[in-house]
Amino acid sequence: MSKKCRMWLTALFLTGALSLTVPMVWAQDAPAGDPVQTEEVGEPAAKGVGFVDIVFRGGAVNLLIWLMIGGTSFATVWFIIDAVITIKREKLIPVDVVDGVRDALTEGDLGAALETCEASPGPLSTILMVGFSNISEGYEVIQEAVASSAEMESEKLMQRVNYLNLCGQIAPMLGLMGTVTGMVAAFGGLATASGAAKAQVLASSISTALWTTCVGLLISVPALLAFTLIKNYATRLILESEATVLDLIKVLRNAEIEDEEDEE
């Protein structure tokens, strides 16, 4: 993986971790000091709402939504790390397999080429073995088989990467759900408040409700960015694998033509 791609993925990882820490920092209690007086003399205003209050004092539904948001955040970080570990050039296009198959085919030893692929399983080895299994059908059939196998390997690789897209799509939806339920609770709380306390209760409740949307977007943005970058990188590697296979098996086309000339 290139240095630039690693820098991008590191930045995305830090952004995903930041999505969990930002609410804790921003939603700290107001600094200690003289309490601000409300319109009613001698009645101090309420302090800022802390992160614990936002998560645990909004009811069971609010807590469940925050748990799902937290799970989505951890899943996003997990799938980014998994992609960084799995989608590597040295894993998808191992040099030892390429050199071993090229040397074996140059010497005309198809069995040795198959043994090299079996010794190092992976997308490239799978595509090569599909091509070798259709060698008797002609070079055009081999090309079609290689293209189909490369497409299948790409789909297998994308199945795990697509979970990042799911995290990016579901995080803002969970945030919106938390905001809607919080707004319902906020307006419901106005029935029990009176006088100047109504505005204070409403403002505090709405501020608490909007945190879910804020955190959902903080998760969604790095997840979608990581999905796009990783998907493009994986697709490029799969296409390069297909091109490498076609370059390796072009020796078989020449061998097939020589065999036909010998039979004539």
- What's the pLDDT tens digit per position in 13-70? 555 554 544 444 444 444 444 444 444 444 444 455 576 767 776 678 888 888 999 9
pTM of the predicted protein model = 0.69
For residues 179 and 211, give the distance between their C-alpha atoms in angstroms, rounded to a whole number.
8
Structure tokens at 103: 């040397």
Whether 192 shows a pLDDT value over 80: the answer reads no
List the chain domain ranges. Answer: 49-92+156-259
Give the rounded percent of residues in the chain with a pLDDT score beyond 70. Answer: 71
From CA 186, how far away is CA 206, in angstroms rounded? 6
CB-count exposure of residue 32 (10 Å: 0-12, 13-18, 19+): exposed
